[in-house]
Chain A
């Protein structure tokens, strides 16, 4: 496929993200990458589970966590995963505008999640003086949840820079795989959050 066909396809194939060899490589490579990410988070979860009672006399999870806030956060993030599915749906129908709209909504929801998370951390630090240095539990909590938060930040930056960069160009076979794997990444972040919700917060207050 020549350069011209990639950037200005005469007609869009049904799965534009996998239409070129580069796209296919990105697609499979990213799934592999997510395999590695899973080990990363599994290790962090293991560490957290080993240390979640090691409060060193400080605040424990029962005293800290409230489910209302976390519930809202969960809803925001789950919804954002759904909206990114819509975006990909429109990508496959070669409807660039609608894809961008749904991606915009996804980003907004993600930003909402992030604001709540910052509020939560700030709250713990200032109300309870609960920090990474308070106890091994504190270290484990901030590292696991913060690592996830870092992934959210990265995912948002990724979406935003893709959207800005391609705003005027529309969809082509070069950027379709990029949009596609960004949304894969976003789903992954969402799945990890479901685990965090269960393991950290639900198990933490029960």
Chain B
């Protein structure tokens, strides 16, 4: 059934069909990378528009209403459509390889997760073209969101609901993959740190996203079906939304940050040529941060009026997170200490990350002091704080990981010189943009304001901040040039261009679709390095060459997602005219029909036969 013979250049249609139906985690990773990268550019353009509006006092580049849409869509896009999917891109590309697995646990679900994310993301942005995108902030606080006119917030609600479902599937998939599919000898305490962080982040997804799901449902019922959860004059209570949102929202920060820590752990250890210092402590700290992440959501609500007792408890719990995070910072420093350090692009990002993130952590402890937060709340101090964490932590990690794993994903290597130029523009631009915002905030510049008056001491700071933002834009352009150039040149690199330590580097780049011809035998932490120090070139196989089981491609995930996408419009527009209900029936019919097809058609996959594998090896 299987053919391993590489077909020469496929036609465009065939390639497209291949991607629409693929269940290969490595191709899904590429799709996440492209879609997430695209939304990152969109979110970045929105950020530039915001900063351009604030470049000088009393500017009128955009209207006040449009400004609200810009900040809302910027935040929402960056978190849900850029950072999360890009993390998923790396998890898909790397985790199965790092644990020596041939596949993920649920390949079909994996592809469904991607398509749901993509169509949810498109849905969110449709609002731009139908009279206005969401404008109630990425936190969509009620009653601002429940009373926002037009359909913008409806698109937010349904778009996030659809893409959130996809994220949940992805999370479950990785949990099961890591529990069940590790290669022989790959014990939990031998798993690379990126896999560990992916594991904990997936657990956070599992327990955090359902709270968002519920919040969005309630919002949808209020906005579209006349329910009164958040409607004071029906007895409702808007603070419920805040709780639900932040029960999801705070862990979300760690869903992004933990895998970022994982990326840096891999990079720092690889390019210091040392095993990670304090591996056990790192694992422990990861789990602890994940756990504490759930205990602290209400630190976003100090000023809501929860009372001093609740405020104090949440303040102390929040500050406790600084301890495991500090442990991590020191372990990275000790890994660098005495290592034979090689400074290339991924390593530059890692080195830039350590002080930047530490600063973000320090201001985090500051805003966690409830009494002080009454001063900081909703000022630019908070904007500065979370961008130090989210950009300095997560985006730096994504860019580092992009350069680090690019060879594994595509078989070519990004230009180091251009990479360094990208880094310096972005790094300097970043600090110019956000460092000064701490002071703007302390001087009283409120967050989410459209404009400000002259001669209040805010002019220069805002100008500098905008210049910084555009420097980041320049850095991003260099990155794009780098990608195009590298792809055009198409210079192949081998399986292990970094002389690295973990399993993903033990196989060719890009990996064959079955990943490992023979499952590797893992004999310690950094398994590839273990073999190298014993003078072997690759991994010792744990099994003889045999048949490999593979899942079939499927078009159904795409169809299901399209169905839900169509139904989404029905839900939104039935509030104007009930005839739109037909769209709900059509859309749900498509989605449910596809699901039924899936469940009545046996899909047992196929086998690559031993003989084919051997033949391929001889060629």
Listed in ascending order, the chain B residues whose CB lies under 8 Å from chain A are 105-106, 168, 172-173, 175-176, 179-181, 206-211, 213-215, 217-218, 221-222, 225-229, 231, 233-237, 240, 243-244, 247, 547, 596, 599-600, 602, 604-607
Contacts and interface: CB of A to CB of B under 8 A. Distances in A.
Given A35-B206, A36-B206, A56-B228, 18 more contacts: A2-B607, A3-B607, A6-B604, A21-B180, A32-B176, A36-B207, A37-B210, A39-B207, A39-B208, A43-B210, A43-B211, A50-B237, A133-B228, A135-B228, A138-B227, A139-B229, A139-B234, A143-B217
B589 to A, nearest CB: 14
Contacts of A28: 175-176, 179-180
Contact of B235 (A35, A40, A51): A51
Given A35-B207, A36-B209, A136 B214 contact: no
B218 to A, nearest CB: 7
A47 B218 contact: yes
A56 B599 CA distance: 45
A3 B225 CA distance: 49
Contacts of B213: 40
B176 A55 contact: no
A7 B604 contact: yes
Closest 6 CB pairs of A and B: A54-B235, A139-B227, A136-B235, A43-B214, A136-B236, A40-B210
Interface secondary structure of A, over-half rule: helix
A25 B214 contact: no
Contacts of A47: 214, 218, 229, 240, 244
A140 interface: yes
A24 interface: yes
Interface string A121-152: 00000000000110111111001000000000
Contact of B237 (A33, A36, A54, A162): A54
A44 B214 contact: yes
A174 B235 contact: no
A95 B176 CA distance: 30
A120 B36 CA distance: 47
Contact of A54 (B176, B215, B236, B244): B236
12 contacts: A2-B607, A32-B206, A36-B206, A39-B206, A43-B247, A47-B218, A51-B236, A55-B235, A56-B228, A136-B234, A139-B228, A174-B602
A165 interface: yes
A162 B598 CA distance: 12
A136 B221 CA distance: 11
A36 B210 contact: yes
B558 to A, nearest CB: 22
A101 B175 CA distance: 35
Contacts of A56: 228, 233-235
A65 to B, nearest CB: 18
Given A36-B172, A51-B229, A137 B214 contact: no
A29 interface: yes
A51 B233 CA distance: 13
A136 B176 contact: no
A198 interface: no
A162 B599 CA distance: 8
B549 to A, nearest CB: 8
Contacts of A140: 229
Contact of B227 (A40, A44, A132): A132
A51 B172 contact: no
Chain B interface helix/strand/loop/mixed: helix
Contacts of B231: 136
B162 to A, nearest CB: 16
B198 to A, nearest CB: 14
A161 B600 contact: yes
Contact of A29 (B105, B240, B606): B105
Interface of A: 2-3, 6-7, 21, 24-25, 28-29, 32-33, 35-37, 39-40, 43-44, 46-47, 50-51, 54-56, 132-133, 135-140, 143, 161-162, 165, 174, 178
Nearest to A24: B180
Contact of A139 (B168, B209, B221, B602): B221
A133 B210 contact: no
B180 A39 contact: no
B237 A51 contact: yes
A7 B211 CA distance: 39
A39 B213 CA distance: 10
Contacts of B168: 36
Contacts of A174: 602, 604
Contacts of B607: 2-3
A6 B606 CA distance: 12
Given A2-B607, A43-B210, A7 B234 contact: no
Given A51-B235, A139-B236, A133 B602 contact: no
A36 B244 CA distance: 14
Nearest to B169: A33
A140 B233 CA distance: 15
Contacts of B211: 39-40, 43
A20 to B, nearest CB: 10
B176 A29 contact: yes
Contacts of A139: 218, 221-222, 227-229, 234, 236
A93 to B, nearest CB: 24
A33 B172 contact: yes
Contacts of A55: 235
Given A47-B229, A133-B227, A32 B247 contact: no
Contact of B172 (A24, A32, A136, A178): A32
Contacts of B599: 161-162, 165, 178
Contacts of B210: 36-37, 39-40, 43
Nearest to B228: A136
A44 B599 CA distance: 29
Contact of B175 (A32, A39, A50): A32
Nearest to B168: A36
Nearest to A166: B600
Contact of B226 (A32, A132, A161): A132
A56 B218 CA distance: 18
Contacts of B606: 3
A44 B211 CA distance: 9
B180 to A, nearest CB: 6
B235 to A, nearest CB: 3
Contacts of B221: 132, 139, 143
Contacts of A6: 604
A21 B104 CA distance: 11
A80 B522 CA distance: 47
A136 B236 CA distance: 5
Nearest to B226: A133
Contacts of B106: 25, 29
Contacts of B247: 43
B213 to A, nearest CB: 6
B23 to A, nearest CB: 13
Contacts of B240: 46-47, 50-51
Contacts of A133: 225-228, 234
